[in-house]
Structure 1
Amino acid sequence: MVLSVVLCVLAVGSLFVQASEEKQPVHVIVLFRHGDRSPIKAYPTDPYQEKDWPQGFGQLSQVGMRQHLELGHHLRSRYKDFLNESYHRSEISVRSTDYDRTLMSAEANLAGLYPPAGHQVFAPNLTWQPIPVHTVPGHQDRLLLFPLDNCARYQQLMNETEQTQEFLNVTKKNQALMELVSNRTGLNNTDVRSIWSVYDTLFCESKHNMTPPDWVTADVLKGLRELKDFSLQVNFGLYKQQEKSRLQGGLLLGFVVQRLTNQSAPDLAEPLKMTMLSAHDTTVMALQFSMNVSNGLQPPYASCHIFELYRDPNGNASVRMFFRNDSTVPPYPVQLPGCAVDCPLQDFVRITKASIPEDWHKECEVPSAGRDRDVVISLVASGCVLFLLIVLLLGLICWQRESSSSGRGYRHVTSGEDGAES
């Protein structure tokens, strides 16, 4: 009996060992939002202006630095058996949007992920080493900076979204709140899509223990928070979500799919182990909406969406996703609709294909109504001119024939007279 139990335990243990050996991590992509920051701007009557913030508006705070240092520690712990203990430039690629707060978040994160040791310590008592973070100017960034505004079709979709019943209902329901905010803040033309900035300012101030104005009650804050979440959803969902995704987060999703596909090859000479992307709340939302896995809420500071690529001994690759939006609990698994949590790579590629643009520039093209009218008028005018030219040409040909026929008859009659005269 005892022998049977021992054999059973050994068998179960061997199954676990076999399962762990079957799939090995190949590549990890982490996309995170920057850490805690100062407000982007202040409203006109705000008692706190840019001078009241140590580094001015839109800058990473020391709280935000610590949040990303902690996230870096978490990534080090999670992937301690996958990543090298010391930094190797060939195993990680880091890209950020061209904002101070995202660049600094990436650097703080890397400080937690790769604390220097041994020969990598270049200064006594400094547990930090420089690691490259790449970026491009904002006007060139179509990978991490969303929503992209230089897309005519997307602007048309946003205009159509504002005419949907749901958008109109939210506007009507919150009209009194928006009028209150407009009167109290000194802002003009406050609407559903722009009011998020007021909540953002009040939220940042509250996080830094700044006393709010008397008109900012708990109910006002609740209403503003709901409007803020709705305004973010409008950018990527609510109406024609998949087409919006092709013009927005689908660009980043396409990058993710391509990177996972490339790294799944079993014969890579020097495989890249991690891709780190430092960006914004709208970046995380754009990506999650493109996969239809967003909860519709603004991702908190230092939240992180994770893609893990695995491969079994037969070369079959699969993808697992996780989202970390709370530092007190482990990241929770995210399931792509239509696939298992451990999703075969070919299924992941197939399911996401509909949200990835084939030709972004072409899909963004939308002729305006005025341009359509001009084209039609031009074609009609050209047709009329061509018709008149054909009529004139036919008329000229007929006239020449009649003239030629009349001339030959006259000469025949007078030829005798001419001959008689000669």
Structure 2
Amino acid sequence: QIFIRSTDCDRTLMSAEANLAGLYPPEGQQMFNPNISWQPIPVHTVPEFEERLLKFPLTPCPRYEQLQNETRHSAEYINKTKESWHFLQMVANETGIRDVSLESVWSVYDTLFCEQAHKMDLPVWVTPDVMTQLKQLKDFGFEFLFGIHSRVEKARLQGGVLLDHIRKNLTKAANVSAHQNLKLLAYSAHDTTLVALQMALDVYNKIQAPYASCHLFELYQEDDGNFSVEMFFRNESGREPFPLTIPGCQHKCPLQRFLELTDPVVPQDWEQECQVASSIHDTELFVGLAVCGSILLLLIILLLTVLLRIQSQPPGYRHVSNEGEEQA
């Protein structure tokens, strides 16, 4: 009745196992050892190089890279870069990292945050104000990955892939005739996974999800037989999950309406949509030129062969007219 999928990373695999230990403590015959309140539950994964569902950004995708380059030229990105230039230079000087940018500063904040969480002493230059500014820039960097410019198209190339998978499972679960026994489908992944998904749903709060965050989809069958979807976001341990409402619908969103609203961010053919129009045209041009060149080369070789065969033949007999004989 449950299926658990994780990325092939130690921390996400361990998170899945820890959550399952809390959700499903053994009972009765499941207790194989009275001193161990735990039972084995399978966690499924695929090698990292095969991951096309939970690890974002999804690459390679030329069109997505093109959109990112366009985002770097947007007014919002340029202004943020100018505003933060002196601060980023200070961070580069203090850390010794040569290239600290809006896109890479997250790694500095992440390292310092982990050290702080483990009660380690931070460098003297890392004041509370510095940590606050690093966090703000890191949050902007996350937004850059999936938004700021062309959010819908980026979603089709990124978070929409996961959303498509979720939509199909919701639809399958709502199909009574399919006799679906699955009650829980859980993914153990990364903060960027949540950002990509929530950007596709247009419910992202522009703040990096903290550890152990969870985005929930719940499917309900109403009294009239129709199905509805409710979403929640759990990003605090001390309170109930926050309800999320997709734009254009109420919190208890009819399944059909949910599918209609999310359809624009779901790719029809991810590999095709990832291609860049100019590169497709260039490829066709190169193939055409290559074919024409090959044909021309074959014709030249054939012509040279014929000429060589003609020149290599010895001279044969030929009739020489005798004018005198003809007159006689």
Given the alignment, which residue of 43, 50, 60 partners 1:150?
60
Question: Is 1:224 the equivalent of 2:137?
Answer: no
- Structure 1 residues 350 and 367 mapped into 2: Cα distance closer, same or farther (>3 Å)? closer
Alignment size in residue pairs: 299
2:108 is aligned to: 198
CA distance in 2, matches of 1:143, 1:378: 36
CA distance in 2, matches of 1:369, 1:117: 59
CA distance in 1, matches of 2:286, 2:42: 54
- Structure 1 residues 367 and 289 mapped into 2: Cα distance closer, same or farther (>3 Å)? same
| 1:267 alignment partner, SS class | helix
CA distance in 1, matches of 2:288, 2:278: 15
1:354 is aligned to: 264
Two-structure CA RMSD over aligned residues (Å):
2.5
2:318 is aligned to: none
- Which aligned pairs between 1:200-279 and structure 2 lie closer than 5 A? 200-279=110-189
Residue identity (%): 52
Task: Report the residue type matching 1:336 in the other structure.
Answer: I
Deviations 1:176-232 (CA, angstroms, capped at 9, x unpaired): 111111111111111110111000000111111111111111221111111100000
Task: Report the residue type matching 1:179 in the other structure.
Answer: Q
CA distance in 2, matches of 1:304, 1:283: 11
1:266–1:315 contact (8 Å) kept in structure 2: no
2:250 is aligned to: 340
1:291 is aligned to: 201
- Structure 1 residues 373 and 340 mapped into 2: Cα distance closer, same or farther (>3 Å)? closer
Q: Name structure 1 gaps, 5 residues minimum.
A: 1-90, 390-420
CA distance in 1, matches of 2:56, 2:179: 34
Question: Is 1:167 the equivalent of 2:77?
Answer: yes
1:303 is aligned to: 213
Q: Shift of residue 374 of structure 1?
A: 9.2
Q: Name structure 2 gaps, 5 residues minimum.
A: 300-326
TM-score, with length taken from structure 1: 0.67
CA distance in 1, matches of 2:276, 2:111: 36
CA distance in 2, matches of 1:101, 1:332: 25
1:115 is aligned to: 25
- Which aligned pairs between 1:120-139 and structure 2 lie closer than 5 A? 120-139=30-49
Q: Shift of residue 315 of structure 1?
A: 2.7
Q: Shift of residue 281 of structure 1?
A: 0.4
Higher relative contact order (CA 8 A, sep 6+): 1
TM-score, with length taken from structure 2: 0.86
Deviations 1:66-120 (CA, angstroms, capped at 9, x unpaired): xxxxxxxxxxxxxxxxxxxxxxxxx100000000000000100001100001100
2:285 is aligned to: 375
Q: Shift of residue 370 of structure 1?
A: 11
2:215–2:233 contact (8 Å) kept in structure 1: yes
- Structure 1 residues 382 and 342 mapped into 2: Cα distance closer, same or farther (>3 Å)? same
2:146–2:199 contact (8 Å) kept in structure 1: yes
Give 1 or 2 for the bigger CA radius of gyration. Answer: 1
CA distance in 1, matches of 2:52, 2:229: 24
1:178 is aligned to: 88
